[in-house]
Amino acid sequence: SDKGTFFHGAAFKTIGASAEVVAALRSIGISKPSHVQAEAYPLLLRRDIRHVAVMDQAGSGKTLAYLLPLIQQLKAEEAAAAGAAEGTAASRGDVGGDTSNGEGDGERAVPLRLAQPGCPRLVVLAPTEELAQQVYRVVKALSAAGLRVRSSVMTGGEADSKERGRSWRTQCKQLEGGLDVLVATPGRFISHLASGTAKLTAASAVVLDEADVLIGDQAAFRQQFDPVRAAAPGSTRFVLVTATLPSHMLDQVRADFEDLALAMGPGLHRTATGLEEELVDCSGGNDVSLESGTERKLDALTQVLKRRGADRVIVFCNKIENCRSVENHLRRSVMKGLSHKVLAYHEA
C-alpha cells in the first residue's frame, strides 16, 4: 500500500468485508478502504481480540473503520439465527415458515431481528451532540445502502422543559422497540442506564468515539466511562476511536484495557495533508501559573491573527472554559481595533 495516499491498495473483500458490505459501499460510491480502515477491519472481525483502539488523523475514515466491521458482525449474527430457525422449521417439516424470503421458495433465510427491548446491540458514544448526529447520518446512509439496521441517536441538552420531557419519552419508546445501533452522548446514555430504560446486556461492542477528548480530562473520563463499564458484561468489547493518543494517554488506556489491540493509520499525530503547521512558543516569564500561561497563549493568538490576516479562522479549545476565555479575549480585542467577529461554538 502507498501510505502517501488516502486509499489503501487492498480491496474491501481482501480485508474481510462481506459481499453485503461490498455491495452497500459500491452503491454509495466507495470501492477501496482507507489505510485505517484496512488496519481496523481484520482486528474488529476477530473474536479473540477483546478491545481495539482505532487511531488516525481527522478525515481518515475512522467512522467507517469501526462501523463497517461491527455492523457486518450484527448482520452475520442475524443470518446465523435465521439459518438456525429455518433448520428447526425444516426438521418439523415446516420448510420456509416464518424465515422464508417471502417468494415462496423457502430456500434462503431472511435475517432475523435480534434486538431486544431496551438492549441495543451496538452502542456508539460521542462526546458532543454534533458528532453524535454526524455518526448517526453515516449509520443511516449504510442502512439505506443495504446494511439494514434499526438505529437511533439520543442526546440531551434541550433548554425547554417540555421539549426535554418529550425527547426523553421518545427515546424510551425507541429503546423499548429494540435497536441494533444506538448513537448517543455519554451523559444521555448514562441517564438511560440509571433509569433502567437501557441496558448493555445484549451489546456486542461499545464504541467511544473521540476518546481522546474524554481521556484528556481524567475526571470527566472516569465520570462518563465508569458507569458504562460497570453496566457492561465482561464479554463486551470496547472500541476506542481517536485522532491522537500521546504515550501518557495510551498508558492510561492500557490500565483500563490490558489486552488492547492497536489499529493505527499512517496519519496519526501528523498534520493533515495540505495544512501548514507552525508551532508557537508561549513559554517565558518567571510567573509559572495557569493564569499566566493562559495569558501568554491568548497574547500569542492575538499576534498570530494580526500577522496572518486570514478572513476566517477556527480556534480549537480542549475545554468549554478555555473556549469561553478565548471568546472573551477576542471580543475585547475587537473593541481594541481588531476587525473580526467572534462566534463561540461549544457543548454548553
**How far apart, in whole angstroms, are the C-alpha atoms of residue 28 and residue 140?**
12
302 & 227 share domain: no
Q: Is the distance from CB of 258 to CB of 228 less than 8 angstroms?
A: no
193 & 286 share domain: no
Query: Is residue 82 in some structural domain?
Result: no
**How far apart, in whole angstroms, are the C-alpha atoms of residue 252 and residue 232?**
20
What pTM was estimated for this model as a whole?
Answer: 0.76
197 & 282 share domain: no
Q: Is 333 helix (H, G, I), strand (E, B) or coil?
A: helix
252 & 160 share domain: yes
Encode the chain (348 residues) as per-residue pLDDT tens digits.
455 566 667 899 999 999 999 999 999 999 999 999 999 999 999 989 999 999 988 888 999 999 999 999 999 999 888 877 776 666 666 544 444 333 333 344 445 668 899 999 999 999 889 999 999 999 999 999 999 999 999 998 777 888 889 999 999 999 999 999 999 999 999 999 999 999 999 999 999 999 887 776 767 778 888 999 999 999 899 999 998 877 778 888 888 888 899 998 876 656 666 677 788 888 877 777 778 888 889 989 988 888 887 788 889 887 788 888 899 888 887 656 666 788 887 765
**How far apart, in whole angstroms, are the C-alpha atoms of residue 201 and residue 232?**
7
Beta strands in 32-98 (DSSP E): 51-55
Query: Is residue 13 in some structural domain?
Result: no
283 & 150 share domain: no
Q: Please give the grid coordinates belonging to residue 285.
A: 516569564
154 & 293 share domain: no
Q: Output the pLDDT for position 103.
A: 37
Answer positive or negative: Cα dihedral of 50, 136, 263, 146.
positive
Beta strands in the chain (DSSP E): 51-55, 122-125, 151-154, 181-184, 205-208, 237-242, 260-264
290 & 239 share domain: no
Q: Is the distance from CB of 185 to CB of 167 less than 8 angstroms?
A: no
Query: Is residue 302 in some structural domain?
Result: yes
Q: Give the domain CATH number at 215.
A: 3.40.50.300
Q: Output the pLDDT for position 262.
A: 92
259 & 288 share domain: no
Per DSSP, what are the bridge partners of residue 52?
A: 239, 261
Which residue, of 264, 286, 313, is where some domain finishes?
264
Query: Is residue 84 in some structural domain?
Result: no
Q: Output the pLDDT for position 65.
A: 96
**Cα dihedral 99/202/249/287 (nearest 10):** 120
Q: Which DSSP letter does residue 272 get?
A: P
Q: Please give the grid coordinates belonging to residue 216.
A: 484528556
Q: Output the pLDDT for position 92.
A: 63
Q: Output the pLDDT for position 68.
A: 98
Round the average pLDDT of the chain to a whole number and report it: 84
119 & 174 share domain: yes
145 & 292 share domain: no
Which residue, of 264, 288, 319, is where some domain finishes?
264
Answer positive or negative: Cα dihedral of 265, 181, 137, 168.
negative
Q: Output the pLDDT for position 339.
A: 66
Query: Is residue 97 in some structural domain?
Result: no
Nearest to 55 by CA among 65, 69, 44, 67: 65
Nearest to 220 by CA among 182, 192, 185: 185
247 & 336 share domain: no
Per-residue pLDDT of 186-196, as tens digits, reads 999 999 999 99
Q: Output the pLDDT for position 97.
A: 44
Query: Is residue 273 in some structural domain?
Result: no
Per DSSP, what are the bridge partners of residue 54?
A: 241, 263
Nearest to 29 by CA among 12, 14, 41: 12
Q: Please give the grid coordinates belonging to residue 139.
A: 449509520
**How far apart, in whole angstroms, are the C-alpha atoms of residue 255 and residue 270?**
25
Q: Output the pLDDT for position 95.
A: 47
Domains of the chain: total: 2
Give the structural domain span for 195: 19-64+112-264
Chain centroid offset of residue 202 CA: 19
Which residue, of 264, 286, 315, is where some domain finishes?
264
219 & 289 share domain: no
Q: Output the pLDDT for position 196.
A: 97
Query: Is residue 154 in some structural domain?
Result: yes
246-263 in b/e form (b: 16+ CB < 10 A) is eeebbeebeebbeebbbb
Torsion angles phi and psi, residue 240, rounded to 5: -100, 130
Chain centroid offset of residue 135 CA: 6
